[in-house]
Structure 1
Amino acid sequence: MSFKSTYLQGVYENVCKRNAGETEFLQAVREVLESLEPVVEKRDDLVKAGIIDRIVEPERFIQFRVSWVDDNGTVQVNRGFRVQFNSAIGPYKGGLRLHPTVCASVIKFLGFEQIFKNSLTGLPMGGGKGGSDFDPKGKSDAEVMRFCQSFMTELSKHIGADTDVPAGDIGVGAREIGYMFGQYKRLRNEFTGVLTGKGLSYGGSLARTQATGYGLLYFTQEMLKSMKKDSMAGKTVVISGSGNVAIYATEKAVEMGAKVVALSDSNGYIYDPNGVNLDVVKQIKEVERGRISEYVKRVSGAEYHEGCKQIWTVKCDIALPCATQNELDQESAKALIANGVIAVAEGANMPSTPEAVEEFLKAGVMFAPAKAANAGGVATSGLEMSQNSMRYSWSFEEVDSKLKGIMENIFHNAYNASKEYGAEGNLVMGANIAGFLKVADAMKWQGVAY
């Protein structure tokens, strides 16, 4: 691919050379750099300061061995990662992912995206990400605990309440955060807000569980209202995934008057023309940790289909991909457009391929990119950090109200940036530019130490 700007072309070629084969990371960098073409034209000072050359290179990348003993007494070895990508506007902040697909490329892509997502929230948080190729599925609590303790023994050397504050992500929920926090406290002999997503009894924030899903809907509602004078009321919605984000996106969508007709997991998807019964989904996924196929055994009239890709052939007004990266491709985008979709908002990280995004923008479909639309989770993590610093906690309503305000501001910041830089309504470009400029100005003021 080529850029209009020879400077950006050179930056991208250099990133490709240094990170050969890291497809997820290169995809994320390309998408951001494409958006920065008009910024490079207007802001020669940022080019001269080498801001873009620096922002694509992590400040620090840590890889380490995680050895632990399973219930059979056998030693297992996994890889652990933490990328501390950018600290220009605050301590590194970003989740820990436990999944077999975790590798350097995935962690760098997520950490890079996190820089701009955190910037968009308006809170003082830099970008980071971490995790391991350990799979918590099918492991006993004791095995998960031993892994988490070993993982944190190394990670604890690199994090701290004012340095780097990890959170949960795929495979890391309250159980894993609890084990990691306990080990950090044991090693460091201090009780600090070093992790977010903690249990309420030891410094967690109310509304954190719901935050990403709720925030996604607050953003989508504001997008519909501002760009089309419309709302979620009466809309048919398809949501991929059935984890934390999908469940609470469903809850808030229904609260706003919409009908969610489909959810999925990695095996397949359910279609319920009467509207998904969320209580049944919560029982299966949150209590039993079961598969979404169980739903059709308990709800009459519902269908289950093997394979999750076909979920995007279900007719809907609003599509919310909330599962994983690159799950929605060009073919799926065309199917959604043919069925009359009016808006797509990303609840997962980079779930739409570049070709799919292009199709949506070309067809005039409102499209909300992940770094803007799913920032509710990290925004509430930032609010948890604030509460920990104050040794205080806000009510659910207070946190939820702050979250709603943050998500609405993110929409307007992204929309206004798209307008200012000649691409009104292109929220991909707007979010990238708005997120970038805040970090870029901070980096410029701080000199070239980083």
Structure 2
Amino acid sequence: MLTSLRDEILRRNPGEPEFHQAVGEVLDSLTPVLAARPELAEAGLIERLAEPERQIIFRVPWQDDSGAVRVNRGFRVEFNSALGPYKGGLRFHPSLNLGIVKFLGFEQIFKNALTGLGIGGGKGGSDFDPHGRSDAEVMRFCQSFMTELHRHLGEYTDVPAGDIGVGGREIGYLFGQYRRITNRWEAGVLTGKGLGWGGSAVRTEATGYGNVLFTAEMLRKRGEELDGQQVVVSGSGNVAIYTVEKAQALGAHVLTVSDSQGYVVDEKGIDLALLKEIKEVERGRLSSYADRRGPSARYVTGGRVWDVPAEVALPSATQNELDTDDALTLVRNGVKAVSEGANMPTTPGAIRVLQEAGVAFGPGKAANAGGVATSALEMSQNAGRAAWPFDVVERELAGVMRSIHDTAWETAERYGRPGDYVTGANIAGFERVAEAMLAQGLI
């Protein structure tokens, strides 16, 4: 059944390799649950899960600072709302296409289900590149983007957040245009807002913090602590920065960060203040880090960040950045745990290598769910006109991440795959969504 279903999904969605990969990984995990619970194999549940409820593609015209007209493409894929309003980020990156948005949205269904917070799955964005653009250009683009997208949004319908290329600046411009068009202060329509106007403490840090907390739980199951471990982190954006921050707070020695041109290795440990200055304030290139840090650091152009020996690896950049050869290198160097801060950064072959070597592997739909969990907490605060202090939100986030870890662990054990977080997360997310879909009928 699953083989023929996979073939049909490939046929119906040509030229979308990332989406094929995401669906394939979930299907590979479902055999034991479908055998044990045949009712979940019926009613076309998997076919419906793999088909978005709605796909929106639109033109985004805008003017650059020279007065030239530019045209980009906007996307929003509203994948599944069985558990609540669609929830998932907006990504602004020149590589974005429909297949990538669909893979992200499909992953989001299960990730959101694992949080237990009553949110459905969706994703969106544009092939617009904000890098090198002025604030005025970014504002004009965001206003044009929201002019179309606003008609599909609402706190009970679809609630976007940020993702790659969409931070506090972009969320501010998007929210302002939504408010302008609708004449409503609907704080719950976007998450990742500024703290002074409806945002939540810890939202900026949440994805990175959550992945580190999940990693710590995986190590604890093995009788170890993160304290004292050598860690390699990829990426140097929001997720990577706050992965470094939380790992250092728990006593880990973080050696690396990276960008599209290469990576920094700092034998003294990453200087977080310098990294934030370069990436968050100056919006500069990572290559300047080594020049300003001194002799303990070097910038390696090209190469693979996974070549640096470490006990824990936290891929936090983008999809398929850690391949089979990288996994073999990590295993040779004695890695104990790999946990995904980015969405699907590890290829299927690499996952097999890590699991066969006995490495604890945290899949993104479980390990990086802290971001969307804190977005849901922001929605709760907005609904109650409340603002919770940092320590309260951080405590809630820690509880959610422990619950996700334990759910994935216990589900894997229940279906005869102890320690397999991929199977545990996929089945647990699937069961929650499938049961809601069954209860609500054929829609």
User: Which band: TM-score by shorter chain?
Assistant: over 0.9
1:102-126 deviation per Cα after TM superposition (whole angstroms, max 9, x unaligned): 1000000000000000000110100
Mapped to 2, the partners of 1:212 and 1:432 lie a distance apart of 19
For 2:258, the equivalent position in structure 1 comes to 264
In the other structure, the counterpart of 1:197 is 192
Query: How far, CA to CA, are the matches of 2:304 and 2:134 in structure 1?
Result: 33
Q: How far is 1:439 from its partner? A: 0.3
Distance 2:381 2:170 in 1: 21
Q: Which amino acid aligns with 2:313?
A: A
Match among 387, 412, 437 for residue 393 of structure 1: 387
Is 1:136 aligned to 2:124, yes or no? no
What is the match of residue 282 of structure 1? 276
2:375 is matched with 381
Aligned partner of 2:316 in structure 1 is 322
Do structure 1's residue 304 and structure 2's residue 299 form an aligned pair? yes
- Tell me the equivalent position of 1:313: 307
The SS at the match of 1:230 is coil
Give ranges in structure 2 of 5+ residues lacking alignment: none
Alignment partner, residue 436 of structure 2:
442
Backbone CA RMSD of aligned residues:
0.6
Within a 5 Å distance, the mapping from 1:37-186 to structure 2 comes to 37-186=31-180
How far 1:298 sits from its partner (Å)?
1.1
Flag as ranges the 4+ runs of structure 1 deviating above 4 A: none
2:246 equivalent among 252, 267, 271: 252
Q: What is the deviation of 1:39?
A: 1.1
Q: Which residue of 2 aligns with 1:3?
A: none
- State how far apart, in whole Å, the 2-side matches of 1:189 and 1:77 are: 27
Question: How many Å separate the matches in 2 of 1:341 and 1:204?
Answer: 37
Corresponding position of 2:214: 219
* Number of the residue aligned with 1:4: none
State the match for 1:343 in structure 2.
337
Could you give the per-residue CA deviations for residues 380-430 of structure 1, whole angstroms, max 9, x where no partner exists?
Answer: 000000000111110000000000000010000000110011111010010
- Displacement of 1:130 in angstroms is 0.3
- Post-superposition shift, 1:178? 0.3
Tell me the TM-score normalised to structure 2 length.
0.99
Shift of 1:9: 1.1
Q: Report the Cα distance in structure 1 between the residues aligned to 2:441 and 2:123, rounded to whole angstroms.
A: 24
Deviation at 1:24, TM superposition (A): 0.3
Q: CA offsets, 1:279-314, max 9 Å, x none?
A: 11011111111111111111122111001x511010
Q: Secondary structure at the match of 2:344?
A: coil
* Partners of 1:173 and 1:166 in 2: CA distance: 12
**1:46 Cα offset (Å):** 1.4
**Equivalent position of 1:430 in the other structure:** 424
Shift of 1:21: 1.2
Q: Displacement of 1:170 after TM fit?
A: 0.2
Q: CA deviation at 1:267?
A: 0.8
Q: Which amino acid is 1:388 matched to? A: N
Partner of residue 407 from structure 2, selected from 409, 413, 418: 413
Deviations 1:251-304 (A, max 9, x none): 111111110011101111011111111111011111111111111111122111
Q: Which amino acid aligns with 1:224?
A: L
Deviations 1:217-258 (A, max 9, x none): 1111111112x0111011000000011111111111111111
Q: Which amino acid aligns with 2:146?
A: M
CA distance in 1, matches of 2:38, 2:192: 40
2:287 corresponds to which of 277, 293, 298: 293
Residue type of the alignment partner of 2:107: E
Q: Secondary structure of 2:342's match?
A: coil
1:435 CA displacement: 0.7
CA distance in 2 between partners of 1:386 and 1:157 (Å)? 23
Structure 2 SS opposite 1:327: coil
- Which of these residues, 197, 201, 204, is aligned with residue 206 of structure 1? 201
Q: For residues 47 and 334 of structure 1, what CA distance do their matches in structure 2 show?
A: 36
Q: Distance in 2 between matches of 1:90 and 1:102?
A: 26
Deviation of 1:50 (Å) = 1.3
Q: 2:358 aligns with which of 364, 369, 388?
A: 364
CA shift, 1:152, in A, is 0.2
Look up the equivalent residue of 2:74 and give its one-letter code: G
- One of 210, 224, 227 as aligned partner of 1:230: 224
* Corresponding residue SS for 1:32: helix
What displacement does 1:10 show? 1.6
Give the SS at the match of 1:156: helix
Q: Distance in 1 between matches of 2:124 and 2:270?
A: 33
Q: Provide the rounded CA distance (Å) in 2 between the counterparts of 1:278 and 1:48.
A: 51
- Whole-Å Cα distance in 1 between the matches of residues 39 and 269 of structure 2? 53
Whole-angstrom CA distance in 2 between matches of 1:191 and 1:147: 21
Question: How far 1:171 sits from its partner (Å)?
Answer: 0.2
Secondary structure at the aligned position of 1:127 is classed as strand
C-alpha distance in 2 between matches for 1:277 and 1:362:
35
For 2:212, give the aligned amino acid.
L
Alignment deviations for residues 305-346 of structure 1 (CA, whole Å, 9 cap, x no partner): 001x51101000000000000000000000000000000000
